[in-house]
Amino acid sequence: MSDTTPGIEGSVDHETAFTPILEAMKQVRSQQGEILTKPFLDLCKMILPVLDKFGTSLSPVKSDVGGNINRLSIVYESNPTKFNFLHSVVQPEIEAKTAKSSSSCTNALLWLTRAMDFLIAVFQNMLDHPEWGMSQVCSSAYSKTLKKWHNWLASSSFMVVMKLAPDRKKFVEVIGRGNEDLNIQMKEFCTRFSPFLRENHKFLVRVGMDNL
3-class DSSP assignment, residue 29: strand
Residue 85, classed as helix, strand or coil, is strand
pLDDT in tens, 46-59: 999 888 888 877 88
Contact status, residue 93 vs residue 105, Cβ threshold 8 Å: yes
The answer for residues whose C-beta is within 8 angstroms of residue 170's C-beta and 6 or more apart is none
Residue of higher predicted confidence among 155 and 26: 26
- Backbone phi, psi, residue 2, to 5°: -80, 165
93-137 residue pLDDT tens? 999 999 999 899 999 999 999 999 999 999 999 999 999 999 999
Give the angle subtended at the CA of 21 by the CAs of 80 and 181, to the nearest 5°.
170
Task: Assign 14 a pLDDT band (cuts: 50, 70, 90).
Answer: low
**Is 181 exposed, middle or buried, given 0-12, 13-18 or 19+ CB atoms closer than 10 A?**
middle
What pLDDT, on the 0 to 100 scale, is given for residue 7? 36
pLDDT per position as a tens digit, 185-202: 999 999 999 999 999 999
Q: What is the pLDDT of residue 209?
A: 85
Confidence (pTM)? 0.88
What CA–CA distance (Å, rounded) separates 129 from 39?
Answer: 31
Residue 1 pLDDT > 70, yes or no?
no
